[in-house]
A and B are shown apart, each in its own frame.
Chain A
Amino acid sequence: MSGLKRVGLTIDGLKVQAAEGTSILKAAEQAGVVIPHFCYHPALEIEGNCRMCVVEIEGLPKLEPSCSALVREGLVVRTSTERVREARKDVLAFLLAEHPLDCPICDKAGECRLQDYYDRHGLTASRMVEPRERREKKLAIGRGLILDRERCVLCTRCVRFLRQMPGTGELGVFERGLRSEVGIFEDAPVDNGYSGNLVDICPVGAITAEDFRFKTRAWFLARKPSVCPHCGRGCAVTVESVSGYPLAKGERRVYRITARENPAVNGFWICDLGRDGRRDIDEGRHARLMKAGVPVAGLSWQTALADVAAAIRTVPGPERSAGIAVVLNGRLTCEELALAKRLFVAGLGLSKVYFADRKPGSADGLLLTAERLPNGRGVLEAGFAPRLPALDEIAAADVLLVFGPYLSEHLAEEALAKAWAGIPSKFLFSAHEGPLDRLADIVFPVAVPAEKSGTYINVDGTRQTFAQAVKPAAGVAAESAILAGLANLLALDAGGGDAR
Chain B
Amino acid sequence: MSYAPSPAALEKIEGTIALYPEKPAALLPVLHIIQGESGFISAAAEAWAAAKLGLRPVRVREVLSFYTMFRRAPAGRTTLQVCRNLSCALAGADDILGLIREKLGIGPGETTSDGAVTLVTAECLGHCDHAPCLQVDGVDHGPVTRETVAALIEELKAHV
Interface size on A, residues (CB 8 A): 13
Interface string of B36-78 (1 = CB under 8 A from A): 0000000100110000000011111110011000000000000
Interface string of A430-466 (1 = CB under 8 A from B): 0000000000000000000000000000000000000
* Chain B residues closer than 8 Å to A175, beta-carbon distance: 65-66
Contact A174 B61 (CB under 8 A): yes
Query: Which stretch from A88-96, A182-190, A312-320, A470-478 is at the chain B interface?
Result: A182-190
Q: When chains A and B are docked, how far (Å) is the Cα of A185 from the Cα of B65? A: 11
Query: Which stretch from A164-172, A211-219, A252-260, A391-399 is at the chain B interface?
Result: A164-172
Of listed B43, B46, B62, B66, residue having the most chain A CB within 10 A: B62
Q: When chains A and B are docked, how far (Å) is the Cα of A172 from the Cα of B47? A: 14
* Chain A residues closer than 8 Å to B57, beta-carbon distance: 185-186, 188
Contact B43 A169 (CB under 8 A): no
Q: When chains A and B are docked, how far (Å) is the Cα of A217 from the Cα of B4? A: 51
A176 in the interface (beta carbon within 8 A)? yes
Q: When chains A and B are docked, how far (Å) is the Cα of A185 from the Cα of B61? A: 7
A173 in the interface (beta carbon within 8 A)? yes
Q: How large is the interface on B (under 10, 10 to 19, 20 to 34, 35 or more residues)?
A: 10 to 19
* Chain A residues closer than 8 Å to B43, beta-carbon distance: 185-186
Q: When chains A and B are docked, how far (Å) is the Cα of A82 from the Cα of B100? A: 49
B74 to chain A, nearest CB (A): 17
Q: When chains A and B are docked, how far (Å) is the Cα of A171 from the Cα of B58? A: 7
B84 to chain A, nearest CB (A): 12
Contact A172 B58 (CB under 8 A): yes
* Chain A residues closer than 8 Å to B59, beta-carbon distance: 169, 172
Q: When chains A and B are docked, how far (Å) is the Cα of A183 from the Cα of B57? A: 12
* Chain A residues closer than 8 Å to B65, beta-carbon distance: 174-176
* Chain B residues closer than 8 Å to A184, beta-carbon distance: 58
Of listed A170, A175, A176, A185, residue having the most chain B CB within 10 A: A185
Q: When chains A and B are docked, how far (Å) is the Cα of A188 from the Cα of B47? A: 11
Q: When chains A and B are docked, how far (Å) is the Cα of A185 from the Cα of B66? A: 14
**A174 nearest in chain B by CB position:** B65
Given known contacts A185-B46, A186-B43, A172 and B66 CB-to-CB distance under 8 angstroms: no
Contact A169 B58 (CB under 8 A): yes
**A176 nearest in chain B by CB position:** B66
Given known contacts A185-B46, A186-B43, A173 and B62 CB-to-CB distance under 8 angstroms: yes
**B1 nearest in chain A by CB position:** A186
Which residues 181-213 of A have a CB within 8 angstroms of B?
183-186, 188
Of listed B47, B58, B62, B65, residue having the most chain A CB within 10 A: B58
Q: When chains A and B are docked, how far (Å) is the Cα of A175 from the Cα of B109? A: 13
Q: When chains A and B are docked, how far (Å) is the Cα of A170 from the Cα of B62? A: 12
**B65 nearest in chain A by CB position:** A174
Q: When chains A and B are docked, how far (Å) is the Cα of A171 from the Cα of B62? A: 10
Contact A174 B62 (CB under 8 A): yes
**B123 nearest in chain A by CB position:** A177
Interface string of A144-176 (1 = CB under 8 A from B): 000000000000000000000000011111111
* Chain B residues closer than 8 Å to A170, beta-carbon distance: 58
A249 to chain B, nearest CB (A): 43
Q: When chains A and B are docked, how far (Å) is the Cα of A362 from the Cα of B134? A: 59
**B56 nearest in chain A by CB position:** A169
**A177 nearest in chain B by CB position:** B123
Q: When chains A and B are docked, how far (Å) is the Cα of A53 from the Cα of B57? A: 32
**A184 nearest in chain B by CB position:** B58
* Chain B residues closer than 8 Å to A176, beta-carbon distance: 65-66
Q: When chains A and B are docked, how far (Å) is the Cα of A186 from the Cα of B60? A: 12
Q: When chains A and B are docked, how far (Å) is the Cα of A186 from the Cα of B66? A: 16
> Can you sample 9 A-B contacts with CB below 8 Å?
A169-B59, A172-B59, A172-B61, A173-B62, A174-B66, A175-B65, A176-B65, A185-B47, A185-B60
- 18 additional A-B pairs beyond A176-B66, A186-B47, beta carbons within 8 Å, are A169-B58, A169-B59, A170-B58, A171-B58, A172-B56, A172-B62, A173-B62, A174-B61, A174-B65, A183-B61, A184-B58, A185-B46, A185-B47, A185-B56, A185-B60, A186-B43, A186-B57, A188-B58
Residues of chain A at the chain B interface (Cβ within 8 Å)? 169-176, 183-186, 188
Residues of chain B at the chain A interface (Cβ within 8 Å)? 43, 46-47, 56-62, 65-66
Interchain residue pairs A-B with the least CB separation, the first 3? A172-B58, A185-B57, A174-B65
